[in-house]
Each structure stands twice: as structure tokens, then as C-alpha cells.
Structure 1
Amino acid sequence: MKTKTKALRALKAAFPHTLPVLAGFLFLGIAYGILMKSIGYGAGWTFLMSFLVFAGSMQYVGITLLSAAFNPLYALFITLMVNARHVFYGISMLERLKLSGKFKPYLIFAMCDETFSILCSATPEKEVDDGWFMFFVAFLNRWYWIAGSVLGAFMGDYIKFDTKGLDFALTALFVVIFINQWREQKRHYPAVIGVISSVICLVVFGRNNFIIPSMLLILLVLTFAGKKMKGESL
């Protein structure tokens, strides 16, 4: 009974934080499901891809890989390049994941951009178990994506309009998450550093290659400037 109470309390605390992700993932998932259907993969295959792979942007790339000649080494290389940012997510979440107990393996698997953003900004109340809270944030976000993609696969036979531009929902989603983080955090050094570093790398490396350099620069700046930033506010 105690475990059930902990879980329900954590679910109630986590759900409101995931609502922006629900809106974004439904649109993005539907677009993904429609694209899967367009190359001949129905709801069953779409479900398996979203359930087992769960890699967001890599799943979109996977559509091209599924319709091209089989090349596992190329697929591996592309996957590492597209999802290399998760290495930085793992580094920054090391301390919190140590305290997550039995949920750690699932949190590692289900970590995505949106879940990482929520967990970085949202701290549950004292009476809410943090392990259960993190689990439900990851669990809900994952199933939003799965539900959207399967729905899109079912709708693929009936939707005939041009779906170009639907992926802008992801950009809008990150803007909403960023604004929420800015409002909830007292110190804005990390956000300011992130924006400035990203702009610099965008100018230097171009829009197709700036993500990994940006994360490296952000990591370096935060590592070396971390002590100085403690106790200060911006």
C-alpha cells in the first residue's frame, strides 16, 4: 500500500510537467506514423520502432534507412552521430541517477531531450519520492510518443494533405520548456551560457554541425566556471 501511495503521489506531481510534451509528441508522433505508413510499414511496425528504439529524430532518419539498401555499419554511425548528445545528458544526470534506485536502468533507456529538460528544471515536493517522480516523467513522455506514432500509422490511409512543417511542433515544444525553466530557476547562468555557446557554434560550424560543438563548449564553460557561479545570481 505504501508503494502504491508513493507511485500515485509521484504520478500526480509528474503529469502536469509533461503536458507540453504531450502536445508536442502527439503531433510529431502522428507525423512519424504517417511517414512510416507511406513507405509500407503499418501500425505494428511503427509501434515496435517507437517502443524498442524510442529515439525521436533518429526514428525519422530510420525511415530513410528502412527504405534504402541494408547497411548496418552506416546505420550505427548515423545513430551515434545523431544521438551523441545523450552522452552529455548522462554526465549531467550522474548524481541524480545514483539516487534513482531500481528505476535507473529504465531512466537511462527512456531518457530523451524533453525528459532531460523537465528533470533538470522540475524538483518534486518533499513528500514526493524523487525516484518515482523521475520514472513517471520518463514513462509518460515515452508513451506519448508511442501513442502519437501509432495513431499516425492508423491515420496514414486517410490523411491526404501535405504534412510538411509538422515537425515545427518540436521547436515550439523546446521554446515552451526553456521559458518554464527560466521562470522556475533563480539563477540563469546555465541558460545564458547555453544560448551564447549555441549561437557562437552556429556561426562557426553551421546549422548542420553545431549541436555537438555547442554541448562541448557548454560543458567546458560550466565545468570551469561552476565554482565561480556558486552563490551568485543572474
Structure 2
Amino acid sequence: MNTKIKALRAAFPLTIPVFTGYIILGTAYGILLNSKGYSYLWAALTSIFIYAGSMQFVSVSLLAAGFHPLYACFMTLMVNARHLFYGISMLSKFQGIGKKKPYLILGLTDETFSILCSTQPPDGVDKGWFLFFITLLNQIYWVSGSILGSILGSFLHFNTKGIDFVLTALFVVIFINQWKSAPNHMPVLIGLSASVICRILFGSANFIIPSMIVILLSVTIFQNKIESRNK
């Protein structure tokens, strides 16, 4: 069997839960973007080149208010700062991937990260293509949902207030599933406590980066204890 086809067949079942979420989330994003006067071409291009669910929802208001490069850059850093830590944890996973690595970095969303860090390619399946197709399929779902939502939004007219909450809802579902499946809840408790404390200390607009730093330091300090509990 062709190496790519074999990897695709192994990757596809793992992405089905993401498919259901991304189609709905992408549709919500497309509808929201269309409500601000942007066509399906904008939905497609932003989903291909930005491809950051939470930031894409934020970008709708940035586009509607008038684009300011410096502010947009700072806001992107604040909203997606967690990807800095995702990237660090994936260094060993992406080692030896070759030319696929830049795209794997681009396509590292929360849901893709969750699959990649918890999954190993089956025996006989090429690791590089396996990781590549998981990432690619997830992005295809998001782009498709965005275009679908934008097209639907041009025909359906309703109040879109609160529609961006679907992204928060997906995060909650992923959190609950990981809590149930994880034998050790210590990393989760560290993340929750650090986020709550930093939220109180720094406020809702500035707590993301400090909480990520605290989480990284805490996990590093308690690494041996965490690993021992996982055994």
C-alpha cells in the first residue's frame, strides 16, 4: 500500500471528533465574518493563512474596527501565547520530520496538539505523513466550515451576538474528556490554579502570558512527581 494512503487511513479516524467540532465552529466563524460584510473568500483565506480559531474570532472585530498592525500583532501574541509552550513540548515529536515541519508548526491548533501529543503512529505507518495528515485534515475541516458558514450567512440574517461562545464550549468539552481519560490530574490542577491566581492578580486582559509562565515553571519543577504518578 502507498505510504501516504496508509498514513491517511491511519490518521482519519483520529480526526473525526475534531471534524464535528470544526465544522460547527468554522460555520459560526463564517457566519460572524459574513455579518461584518466579508465574503467567503475572506473566510477561506483567513482560515488557510491565519488558522487560529480563537484569534480568527477576535480578528473579525479587528477588521470591522479598522486594521492596526501593531495592535493586531500584540493581540495575537496575547490570545495565542499558549502556542509558544505547545511548540516547546512538540520539539521532540517533530524531530526528523523534514520538509513537513513548517506546515506542522503552522497547523498546530489546540485540538491538533491534543491528538498529536497523545498518539503514536501504528506499526508500519510513516510518522511524518501520519502527523501531516492529522494536521491537514483538521485544517480542511476548519476551512470547509468557514466557507460553509460564510455562504449560509449571506442567505440567513439573524442576531450573531454570542455566537463566538462556541469556541469556549469546545474547549470545555475537550477539557472534560481529557480529565476523564487522564490517570494523573496534577498537570490540570496546576493549570487551573495558575490561571485563576494570575487572573486575579493581572486581570482578564493580561493574565494569559503570566499564567503560561507559571504553568511551565510549575510543571518543570514538579516533573518527576508528575511522571511518577503517570506510571
Query: TM-score under structure 1 normalisation?
Result: 0.86
What is the correspondence of 1:1-234 to structure 2 with a 5 Å cutoff? 4=2, 6-233=3-230
Contact 1:30 1:149 (8 Å CA) reproduced: yes
Shift of 1:93: 0.9
The code of the aligned residue for 1:23 comes to T
Cα deviation, 1:171-217, whole Å, max 9, x if unaligned, reads 33223333443454444432332233333333433444332222211
Q: Is the 8 A contact 2:112 2:135 kept in 1?
A: yes
Matched-pair contact (CA < 8 Å) for 1:121–1:181: no
- Partner of 2:154, secondary structure, is coil
1:73 counterpart letter in structure 2: L
How far off its partner does 1:145 sit?
A: 1.0
In the TM superposition, what is the alpha-carbon distance from 1:59 to its structure 2 partner?
1.7
1:197 and 1:214 in contact (8 A); partners too: yes
Identity, in percent, stands at: 55
- Equivalent-residue separation in structure 2 for 1:34 and 1:21 (angstroms): 19
Partner-residue secondary structure (3-state), 1:125:
coil
TM-score (ref. length: structure 2): 0.87
Runs of 4+ in 1 over 6 A off after TM superposition: none
Q: Which residue type is aligned with residue 113 of structure 1?
A: D
Aligned residue pair count: 231
1:69-116, CA deviations, whole angstroms, 9 ceiling, x for partnerless residues? 342222222222222221111111111111323321110111111111
Answer yes or no: is the 8 Å Cα contact 1:7–1:132 preserved in 2.
yes
CA gap of 1:213–1:154, structure 2 versus 1, over 3 A, is: same
Q: Using the alignment, how far apart are the partners of 1:62 and 1:103 within structure 2?
A: 27
Indicate how the Cα distance of structure 1 residues 127 and 178 shifts in structure 2: closer, same or farther if over 3 A, else same. farther
The CA RMSD measured in Å over matched residues stands at 2.3
The one-letter amino acid paired with 2:47 is: S
| One-letter amino acid of the counterpart of residue 94, structure 2 | L
**In structure 2, distance between residues paired with 1:108 and 1:30:** 24
